[in-house]
Amino acid sequence: MEFKNFASSTKKVPFTSPYPPLVLSAKEKKQLRQLAKTLVEVNVDAYEQFLYENKGKLPESEWKFFRRDQQVETYLRRRDEYNLRGFGATKKFRRGSDTSSTASTSSARSEELSSLDVADIRSIGSRDGTIEDADGIEDCNVLVIIDNVTPEEPFTSLSIRWRVTENPPILRNILKSYDHIYLEATGFTHLSNGERVAFHLLHSVDFPSVTPPLPDYSRGQVAAIGFWRQTAPNVVEIHGRGVFALPFERARALFVPVVTTSMSKSVMHIFYAAHMKKLRWALTQRKTRDLARSQSSVDRVCSVCNKKRTIRQGDDCDLCGDLVCSVCRITHKVASVGLENKMHWTKAHVCPFCMTKVINLDTAAVVCAEIKAGWYDRFP
């Protein structure tokens, strides 16, 4: 098992959306639900083709290997003509000053993307965990919750979000960073054989009259969906697909490696994000009770390596209170959303023993506890 350490010389500042909360009509909510349903169904068909017709392999004649991250391989579709079946084209709502939705769940020809406009990417592989651990990424702003999680359906949600994707430094002098307005859907669906799989869908939507482009960013166009299938008690098969619009054809050589790397890391990071949710909950529970001073703290000996080292303030584990030296401790940056809908990050120092316990917490139980505590009621 690997633990991800955080190390950075820069500090993330809290940010909030530049847009007011989005108010949707009943008709718009219905159309957005149908849009999410249609896009999931289209991609389930493609996923089953990958599983059953192609035996879990991508044809080399159509796909080019790009990179490998741990147990996940990422491929880029070769530049031949192919049909995206409406996946990737931004769905527009409230065109101009019209307050009613004019979007259709099927793409108009003018909104369809061609193979020359996009990078079509697949990430496939496996990792340790459960399909419930594929529980989303939080570094984005919620504009409106359409369907919120409930204790009965703790992993099913539908929302509109705004997020900024920073370009790497090498590109910032050439291209503005991108922001995205997108529909996010999470939940479970079933394959044709009845097998249950988790999904996480992102798809660009546009409300021109209420979410106009910002001067500091280029408005990105993205569609991505991940499927997670339990193949063994602690093994999850990963299948991610992303369709990214290119700013212009001459940027392909620079842009494609960036988005392909981002796609590869995202399908892995989603499990890390679930672990951070568990850690956040554990830290919250820790604050509600007092811990006795541990013997390791009294003796000034690290509880992990049993060595006496230079002791600094804050070297205790934030969960159990045992002393843990800087060599043994694990440091994470944990996100939380304040009552003002701003994202904040705090550093947490924990020992490996507590981190293992956190990772092994039941994901559904943690999310249900958060729901009952009202953590998901603070969004628009």
| pLDDT score at 234 | 84
| pLDDT score at 232 | 87
Query: CB of 323 within 8 A of CB of 302?
Result: yes
**Residues 168 and 213 reside in one and the same domain:** yes
Tens of pLDDT, residues 153-177: 888 999 999 988 777 777 677 777 8
Q: Give CA–CA dist 77/87, Å, rounded.
A: 15
Q: Give CA–CA dist 203/185, Å, rounded.
A: 9
57-66, 320-329, 331-340: range with lowest mean pLDDT: 331-340
What value does the mean pLDDT take over residues 254-263? Answer: 80
Query: CB of 127 within 8 A of CB of 256?
Result: no
The answer to the question of residue 369 being in a domain is yes
Residue 87 belongs to what domain range? 26-275
**Residues 298 and 219 reside in one and the same domain:** no
pLDDT beyond 80 at 291 = no
The answer to the question of residue 10 being in a domain is no
Per DSSP, helices labelled H in 152-251 are: 169-172
| pLDDT score at 139 | 56
| pLDDT score at 226 | 92
Query: CB of 166 within 8 A of CB of 143?
Result: no
Q: Give CA–CA dist 143/179, Å, rounded.
A: 14
- Choose between 150 and 169: higher pLDDT: 150
**Residue 205 β-bridge partners:** 91
Query: CB of 335 within 8 A of CB of 138?
Result: yes
Tens of pLDDT, residues 366-379: 888 888 877 776 55
Tens of pLDDT, residues 325-374: 888 888 988 877 665 556 677 888 899 999 999 988 888 888 888 888 77
pLDDT beyond 70 at 298 = no
**Residues 241 and 323 reside in one and the same domain:** no
**Residues 208 and 252 reside in one and the same domain:** yes
Tens of pLDDT, residues 102-139: 444 333 223 444 444 778 889 999 888 787 776 655 55
| pLDDT score at 137 | 54
Exposed/middle/buried for residue 105 (C-beta within 10 Å: 0-12, 13-18, 19+): middle
What CATH number does residue 306 fall under?
A: 3.30.40.10
**Residues 227 and 135 reside in one and the same domain:** yes
| pLDDT score at 131 | 78
Band of the pLDDT at 9, cuts 50, 70, 90?
very low
| pLDDT score at 354 | 92
Domain end position, chosen among 275, 296, 325? 275
Which of the 8 DSSP states describes residue 233?
T
Q: Give the count of domains, the chain.
A: 2
**Residues 302 and 260 reside in one and the same domain:** no
- Token pair, residue 68, equals 């490998």
**Residue 144 β-bridge partners:** 160
| pLDDT score at 104 | 40
Q: Give CA–CA dist 136/155, Å, rounded.
A: 9
The answer to the question of residue 21 being in a domain is no
| Phi, psi values for residue 230, rounded to 5° | -80, 110
- Choose between 298 and 57: higher pLDDT: 57
> What is the sign of the dihedral through the CA atoms of 343, 346, 352 and 357?
negative
The answer to the question of residue 47 being in a domain is yes
Q: Give CA–CA dist 193/123, Å, rounded.
A: 23
The answer to the question of residue 255 being in a domain is yes
Q: Give CA–CA dist 264/202, Å, rounded.
A: 15
pLDDT over 90 for what percent of the chain?
26
Query: CB of 203 within 8 A of CB of 91?
Result: yes
What value does the mean pLDDT take over residues 244-255? Answer: 72
Tens of pLDDT, residues 198-227: 999 999 998 888 899 888 888 888 889 999
Residue 170 identity: I
Q: What is the SS3 assignment for 200?
A: strand
What value does the mean pLDDT take over residues 23-50? Answer: 93
Mean pLDDT of the chain: 78
| pLDDT score at 14 | 36
Beta strands in 157-234, from DSSP E residues, in sequence order: 157-165, 178-190, 196-206, 218-219, 222-232
Which stretch of DSSP H or E encloses residue 335?
strand 330-337
| pLDDT score at 320 | 87
pLDDT beyond 70 at 40 = yes
Q: What is the SS3 assignment for 44?
A: helix
pLDDT over 70 for what percent of the chain?
73
Tens of pLDDT, residues 80-92: 655 555 565 666 6
| pLDDT score at 70 | 83
Residue 233's Cβ-side half-sphere holds a number of Cα atoms within 13 Å equal to 1
**Residues 198 and 211 reside in one and the same domain:** yes
| pLDDT score at 107 | 36
- Choose between 178 and 290: higher pLDDT: 178
Q: What is the pTM of this model?
A: 0.80
- Token pair, residue 290, equals 């007092």
The answer to the question of residue 20 being in a domain is no
